[in-house]
């Protein structure tokens, strides 16, 4: 617990020093996405319109099957939408070929997943360096700084098997930031963590956002909504509500 | 559960199909080559039986006396005596030393009969065609052996000439025959590979043969043993033959033609057993990797079944069933295709060798063994993972601990300190220990492929080296001229022939060496002590000169006669006395096991001196020049035979050219074998690492970078296996060659760097090719779905 608090404080301190202009705005118009065909067709997104301002922290809520992960995937360029217009961080995604989407992901967005998906044969530092090396973005010498920002300076040369779940998720976050994305997309980032660890990860995400980077977080945990500038609720592939928080709470005040 | 098995196989069809195909190739090779091997053996035996092929052939002594000594001996079925002599012949424009063989019993001897395939027989009339007006009692003329008839284009009615010591005698070819003694046309064990234009065998009635051979014609006693007579009987009869005066007794196993065919069969036997083992091993490894992956993926389901009380035996049987089905399917296909291939291989082979009988049999036991091999491969591959599945603790498996990350080992920690290496390189190196079974499987596939390639190619490169050594270092002469002993000034006239650079008189005579009760028929050659026509190689590859006293012998003689350097040998030459001579040293020669002495030594032993001339031509003499020399030399008076020694080299080179096709096929098969194993391990690799690869894809890492990363990992495992594969491949090739090491051939393993490099490149290419489906899998990864799954 002390470890996670320290991490959040370190990250906050790091963020406080480097405030940048807001980035990572999103604009969706009439976006649809259907899986399968015929009787088994499933309309995951059904005419979604959404505007996210640059530098906003957005939480997308909704029950299972409501389309929130599909929304994250089409914004992240992992999956193409069937119809509609999508613009992310100033890049128009509509009708782009897969190769362009790969470049877009490399240059504009970063991902954090529920199960971390670290390379088990690489140390924390190497996981970040590998991402830099493979994407050709970032400087390997920046890896220790990123790990320091997530409070893992003393765990840089540890392998995933030697790290706790929370520590692994923090490495995962540092890895996502390694390419300096405009928008960070997080899919259930606290889903595999206990409350205390989850809170520390949320603090790091919030700090990342305070540095001007857009953050879009998909979760089924309604308590997390308190952190967000914008809370989007989805149901049956549609945006049911969009609520703006006048005063987002600090992550360390959130509990579930 | 059968439905599940069926669907499992369908879901992983390409991988299971790869296993089944490898089993199929292994079983096909086994069935086709083993059945063909047995068929060839049976074909030879049928021909031998029909033509009453001799079990023992004795030379020397008074044939009538020798024959009488064994006629009534227990275990003896038939005995025949005959005349045999090597005489100069003129066939068309060629002059050569051929062989005249007498056929007693009015052309139909009790032992070593011939089969007339064209024209007529000799005096018995049995072979005279309807409408032929020839008197059946007319025994003139000869029957020519099929290989010579083909080489010289002779047909019944053609004429040739035989030198009977006094002059050239014209003889008419009455027919073309096949002989069990010359299914492979070898003059002797020293000359199993010869220029076909320098040897011909003709058969004549006993009277004609004696007339042509003159008083020096060699008498032979041929013995056929009764069916079921064993080695003991053969030894007893051999002893009786020797006691009665026979100088040399050759068992069927040592008869030149039969020996060569047996060497050939050995090659088939190796093919029949060695290659299938490689393919079936590869299939077992691939099945093991594949089923292990299946079990890991289904661990929770297995745990659920076990928790519900399913017996562990049922789980084992279920996963064994996957292996058995893949192996069984491959085996059934392999047996079916192997059965078809058996007939084709047998017929092609007997046609090529002109074996008169072709026995095509399909042995149920071989087919059954092939099926069992296939099943066993599947079961062996599936056993370990099936047992592991049945031992899963239900609670642990259901908790999903399969996703627990492995602790880093020493290797991983050590690499973490290698900060100068790019991370992707460190990643590739760590992958080696991440899944040891996968790495081991890749390495084993590589090793098996290299063994397959090197064992096959090593045979050919070693044969090439043999030819280079024999014709570059040992036999340095370009041609050998046999002369009429009365010819005058022949040496000077030979020197005057354009393109002839050097001429040396050499003594060459057939000889039988005896020591410690054993005998060995060979040749004795006498050279000038400073000869430039023959190189005498020592075992360490050096050279030595002829001794002033005693003889040198091929190394194999020490085994054949159980003698050592310094021992005394008894040498018996036709027309000469038995002489004792000291074995002064040994020589290492690729072809044959001959005796060599100085001309003086050989003169003392045989009374002969310089009965042949050896020639060296100008360095750049090409085929056209050589033919011109042949023509000019054979036209000289007193020349009775001309052998172009380098013609054999040309023939062997052409023959080896065909073998390179075989080597190419083996390279492809070796590559396919490596491809199968690496393909399966690669696809399993991608399946096991789906989440991390999908994460990289989600982060925008280009596919080519991921492909490069996987290639580096894969090539690292392949490269690590290369030294072991090369070493084991060379060892296997060496052991294969040793099987052919006899007094007729001394095959030293020769694998040059080009071969080793090509073999290495072939497996690396296979390794890279196996990337293609794996990279396709990565491209098709459902990134959105996979990144949400727990790894494992």
CATH number of A165's domain: 3.40.50.300
- Work out the minimum CA distance from A90 to partner chain B, whole angstroms: 17
The partner residue sitting opposite A121, judged by closest CB among B427, B702, B703, is B427
Residue A256 lies in a domain: no
The region, left, alpha or beta by phi > 0 then psi within -120 to 50, assigned to residue B541 is left
Does residue A176 belong to the interface with chain B, where contact is any CB pair within 8 Å?
yes
Do residue B33 and residue B147 come from a single domain? no
- Contact indicator for B43, B357 with CB cutoff of 8 Å: yes
Total domains in the fold of chain B: 4
Residue A113 lies in a domain: yes
**pLDDT number for residue A12:** 42
Residue B611 confidence class, pLDDT cut points 50, 70, 90:
confident
**pLDDT number for residue B394:** 62
- Work out the minimum CA distance from A218 to partner chain B, whole angstroms: 12
Do residue B674 and residue B783 come from a single domain? yes
Q: Do B703 and A176 touch (CB under 8 A)?
A: no
Residues of A in Cβ contact (< 8 Å) with B434: 120-121
Residues of B in Cβ contact (< 8 Å) with A107: 700
Alpha helical stretches, state H, A50-181: 68-76, 98-108, 124-135, 143-149, 165-177
For B589-610, how does the pLDDT look when each residue is reduced to its tens digit (9 = 90+)? 988 899 999 999 999 888 888 8
**What range defines the domain where residue A94 resides?**
2-249
Q: Does pLDDT of B335 surpass 60?
A: yes
DSSP single-letter state for residue B583 = E
Q: Percent of chain B beyond pLDDT 90?
A: 36
Sheet of A26-35: strand order equals: A42-52, A26-35, A83-88, A91-92
Residue B423 lies in a domain: no
Over residues B712-729, mean pLDDT: 92
Q: Do A78 and B407 touch (CB under 8 A)?
A: no
User: B692 to chain A: nearest residue by CA?
Assistant: A117
Cβ neighbours of residue B208 closer than 8 Å, sequence gap 6 or more: B102, B139, B140, B141, B142, B171
Three-state DSSP class for B445? helix
Cβ neighbours of residue B661 closer than 8 Å, sequence gap 6 or more: none
Per-residue CA distances from B488 to B163, B164, B526 (Å): 18, 19, 21
Residue B325 lies in a domain: yes
Measured at the alpha carbon of residue A236, what is the angle toward residues A231 and A238, in degrees to the nearest 5?
Answer: 50
- Contact indicator for B710, B775 with CB cutoff of 8 Å: yes
Total domains in the fold of chain A: 1
Do residue B68 and residue B188 come from a single domain? yes
Per-residue CA distances from B348 to B271, B352, B551 (Å): 17, 6, 44
Helices A165-177 and A195-210 sit at what angle, rounded to 10 degrees? 20
Three-state DSSP class for B609? coil
Do residue B510 and residue B626 come from a single domain? yes
Over residues A150-175, mean pLDDT: 92
Beta carbons within 10 angstroms of residue B319's beta carbon: 26
Sign of CA pseudo-dihedral A70, A76, A77, A81: positive
- Work out the minimum CA distance from A134 to partner chain B, whole angstroms: 6
DSSP single-letter state for residue B53 = -
- What is the C-alpha to C-alpha distance for residues B268 and B47, in angstroms, rounded to an integer? 19
Looking at B254, B287, B311, the residue that finishes a domain is: B254
**What range defines the domain where residue B226 resides?**
55-254
Do residue B705 and residue B741 come from a single domain? yes
Q: Strand B159-163 to strand B56-59: parallel, antiparallel, or no bridges (unpaired)?
A: unpaired
- Work out the minimum CA distance from A243 to partner chain B, whole angstroms: 27
Task: Give the DSSP H or E segment for B300.
Answer: helix B299-307
User: A124 to chain B: nearest residue by CA?
Assistant: B416
Does residue A35 belong to the interface with chain B, where contact is any CB pair within 8 Å?
no
Do residue B122 and residue B136 come from a single domain? yes
Residue B596 lies in a domain: yes
Do residue B286 and residue B233 come from a single domain? no
Q: Do B698 and A187 touch (CB under 8 A)?
A: no
Residue B430 lies in a domain: no
- What is the C-alpha to C-alpha distance for residues A241 and A221, in angstroms, rounded to an integer? 16
pTM for the model stands at: 0.74
Do residue B171 and residue B244 come from a single domain? yes
Residue B658 lies in a domain: yes
Q: Does pLDDT of A202 surpass 70?
A: yes
- Contact indicator for A33, A94 with CB cutoff of 8 Å: no
Residue B685 lies in a domain: yes
Do residue B29 and residue B128 come from a single domain? no
Q: Do B788 and A115 touch (CB under 8 A)?
A: yes
Q: Does pLDDT of B655 surpass 80?
A: no
Residue A255 lies in a domain: no
Do residue B395 and residue B348 come from a single domain? yes
- Work out the minimum CA distance from B407 to partner chain A, whole angstroms: 5
Over residues B692-719, mean pLDDT: 88
Residue B659 confidence class, pLDDT cut points 50, 70, 90:
low
User: A103 to chain B: nearest residue by CA?
Assistant: B700
For B45-59, how does the pLDDT look when each residue is reduced to its tens digit (9 = 90+)? 999 999 999 999 999
Q: Do A102 and B694 touch (CB under 8 A)?
A: no
More confident residue, B659 or B206: B206
Does residue A169 belong to the interface with chain B, where contact is any CB pair within 8 Å?
no
The partner residue sitting opposite A117, judged by closest CB among B424, B692, B701, is B692
Q: Which residues pair with A214 in a beta bridge?
A: A183
- Work out the minimum CA distance from A105 to partner chain B, whole angstroms: 5
Reported ipTM? 0.78
Residue B776 lies in a domain: yes
Q: Do B427 and A119 touch (CB under 8 A)?
A: yes
Over residues B479-491, mean pLDDT: 86
Do residue B153 and residue B240 come from a single domain? yes
Does residue A102 belong to the interface with chain B, where contact is any CB pair within 8 Å?
yes
- Contact indicator for B689, B298 with CB cutoff of 8 Å: no
Sign of CA pseudo-dihedral A121, A125, A131, A136: negative
Do residue B391 and residue B445 come from a single domain? no
The partner residue sitting opposite B412, judged by closest CB among A73, A79, A159, is A159
The partner residue sitting opposite B783, judged by closest CB among A78, A114, A157, is A78
Sheet of A238-244: strand order equals: A109-112, A183-187, A214-218, A57-61, A230-235, A238-244
Residue B240 lies in a domain: yes
Looking at B637, B658, B686, the residue that finishes a domain is: B637
Q: Do B788 and A121 touch (CB under 8 A)?
A: no
Residue A136 lies in a domain: yes
Kindly report which listed range (B394-408, B656-670, B677-691) carries the lowest average pLDDT score.
B394-408
Over residues B339-359, mean pLDDT: 89
- Work out the minimum CA distance from B707 to partner chain A, whole angstroms: 11
Measured at the alpha carbon of residue B310, what is the angle toward residues B307 and B313, in degrees to the nearest 5?
Answer: 125
- What is the C-alpha to C-alpha distance for residues B276 and B24, in angstroms, rounded to an integer? 10
In chain A, DSSP finds a helix count (H) and a strand count (E) of 7, 10
């Amino acid at each position: 617990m002390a470890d996670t608090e320290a991490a959040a404080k370190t990250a906050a301190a790091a963020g406080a020093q480097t405030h940048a202009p807001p980035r990572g705005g999103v604009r969706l118009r009439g976006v649809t996405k259907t899986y399968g065909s015929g009787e088994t067709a499933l309309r995951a997104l059904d005419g979604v319109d959404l505007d996210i301002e640059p530098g906003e922290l957005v939480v997308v809520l909704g029950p299972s099957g409501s389309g929130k992960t599909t929304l994250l995937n089409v914004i992240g360029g992992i999956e193409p939408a069937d119809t509609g217009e999508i613009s992310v961080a100033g890049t128009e995604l509509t009708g782009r070929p897969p190769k362009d989407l790969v470049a877009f992901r490399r240059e504009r967005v970063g991902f954090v997943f529920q199960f971390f998906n670290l390379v088990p044969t690489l140390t924390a530092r190497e996981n970040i360096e590998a991402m830099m090396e493979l994407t050709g973005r970032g400087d390997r010498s920046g890896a220790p700084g990123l790990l320091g920002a997530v409070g893992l300076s003393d765990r840089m040369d540890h392998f995933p098997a030697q790290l706790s779940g929370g520590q692994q998720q923090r490495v995962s976050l540092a890895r996502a930031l390694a390419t300096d994305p405009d928008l960070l997309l997080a899919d259930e980032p606290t889903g595999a963590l206990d409350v205390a660890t989850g809170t520390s990860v949320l603090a790091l995400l919030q700090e990342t956002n305070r540095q001007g980077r857009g953050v879009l977080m998909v979760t089924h945990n309604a308590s997390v909504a308190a952190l967000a500038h914008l809370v989007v609720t989805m149901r049956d592939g549609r945006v049911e509500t969009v609520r703006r928080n006048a005063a987002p709470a600090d992550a360390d005040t959130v509990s579930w | 559960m059968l439905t599940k098995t069926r669907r499992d196989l369908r879901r992983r069809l390409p991988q299971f199909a790869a296993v089944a195909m490898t089993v199929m190739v292994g079983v096909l090779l086994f069935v086709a080559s083993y059945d063909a091997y047995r068929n060839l053996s049976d074909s030879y035996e049928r021909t031998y039986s029909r033509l009453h092929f001799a079990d023992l052939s004795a030379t020397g002594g008074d044939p009538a006396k020798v024959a009488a000594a064994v006629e009534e001996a227990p275990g003896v079925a038939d005995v025949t005596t005959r005349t045999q002599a090597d005489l100069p012949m003129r066939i068309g424009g060629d002059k050569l030393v051929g062989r005249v063989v007498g056929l007693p019993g009015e052309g139909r001897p009790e032992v070593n009969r011939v089969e007339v395939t064209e024209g007529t027989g000799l005096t018995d009339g049995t072979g005279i065609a309807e409408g032929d007006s020839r008197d059946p009692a007319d025994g003139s003329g000869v029957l020519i052996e099929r290989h010579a008839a083909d080489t010289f284009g002779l047909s019944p009615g053609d004429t040739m000439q035989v030198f009977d010591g006094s002059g050239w005698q014209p003889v008419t070819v009455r027919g073309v025959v096949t002989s069990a003694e010359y299914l492979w046309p070898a003059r002797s064990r020293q000359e199993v590979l010869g220029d076909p234009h320098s040897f011909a065998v003709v058969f004549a009635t006993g009277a004609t043969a004696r007339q042509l051979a003159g008083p020096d014609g060699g008498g032979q006693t041929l013995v056929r043993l009764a069916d079921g007579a064993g080695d003991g009987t053969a030894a007893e009869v051999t002893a009786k033959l020797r006691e009665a005066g026979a100088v040399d007794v050759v068992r069927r196993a040592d008869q030149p033609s039969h020996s060569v065919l047996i060497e050939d069969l050995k090659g088939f036997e190796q093919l029949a057993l060695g290659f299938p083992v490689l393919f079936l091993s590869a299939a077992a490894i691939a099945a093991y990797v594949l089923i292990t992956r299946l079990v890991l993926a289904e661990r929770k389901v297995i745990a659920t079944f076990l928790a519900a009380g399913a017996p562990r035996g049922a789980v084992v049987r279920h996963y064994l069933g996957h292996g058995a089905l893949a192996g069984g399917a491959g085996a059934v296909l392999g047996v079916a295709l192997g059965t078809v291939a058996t007939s084709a291989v047998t017929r092609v082979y007997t046609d090529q060798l002109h074996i008169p009988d072709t026995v095509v049999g399909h042995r149920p036991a071989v087919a059954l063994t092939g099926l069992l091999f296939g099943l066993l491969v599947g079961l062996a591959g599936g056993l370990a993972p099936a047992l592991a599945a049945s031992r899963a603790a239900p609670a642990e498996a259901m908790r999903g601990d399969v996703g627990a990350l492995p602790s880093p080992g020493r290797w991983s920690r050590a690499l973490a300190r290698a900060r100068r290496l790019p991370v992707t390189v460190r990643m590739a190196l760590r992958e080696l220990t991440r899944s040891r079974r996968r790495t081991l499987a890749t390495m084993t596939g590589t090793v098996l492929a290299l063994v397959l390639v090197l064992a096959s190619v090593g045979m050919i490169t070693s044969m090439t080296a043999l030819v280079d050594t024999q014709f570059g270092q040992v036999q340095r002469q370009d041609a050998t001229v046999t002369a009429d002993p009365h010819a005058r000034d022949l040496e000077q006239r030979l020197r005057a022939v354009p393109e002839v650079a050097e001429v040396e008189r050499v003594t060459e005579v057939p000889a039988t060496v005896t020591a410690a009760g054993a005998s060995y028929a060979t040749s004795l050659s006498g050279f000038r002590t400073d000869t430039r026509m023959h190189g005498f190689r020592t075992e360490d590859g050096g050279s030595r000169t002829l001794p002033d006293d005693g003889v040198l012998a091929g190394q194999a003689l020490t085994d054949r006669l159980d003698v050592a350097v310094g021992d005394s040998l008894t040498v018996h030459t036709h027309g000469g006395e038995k002489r004792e001579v000291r074995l002064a040293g040994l020589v290492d020669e690729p072809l044959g096991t001959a005796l060599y002495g100085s001309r003086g030594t050989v003169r003392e032993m045989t009374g002969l001196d310089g009965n042949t001339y050896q020639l060296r031509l100008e360095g750049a003499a090409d085929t056209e020049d050589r033919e011109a020399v042949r023509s000019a030399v054979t036209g000289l008076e007193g020349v009775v035979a001309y052998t172009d020694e380098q013609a054999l080299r040309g023939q062997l080179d052409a023959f080896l050219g065909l073998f390179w096709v075989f080597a190419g096929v083996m390279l492809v098969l070796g590559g396919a074998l490596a491809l199968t194993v690496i393909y399966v391990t690669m696809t399993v690799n991608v399946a096991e690492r789906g989440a991390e690869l999908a994460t990289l894809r989600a982060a925008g890492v280009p596919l080519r970078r991921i492909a490069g990363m996987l290639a580096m990992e894969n090539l690292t495992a392949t490269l690590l296996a290369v030294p072991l594969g090369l070493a084991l491949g060379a060892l296997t090739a060496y052991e294969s060659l040793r099987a052919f090491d006899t007094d007729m051939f001394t095959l030293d393993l020769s694998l040059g760097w080009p071969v080793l490099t090509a073999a290495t490149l072939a497996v690396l290419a296979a390794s890279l090719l196996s990337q293609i489906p794996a990279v396709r899998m990565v491209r098709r990864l459902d990134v959105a779905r996979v990144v949400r799954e727990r790894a494992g």
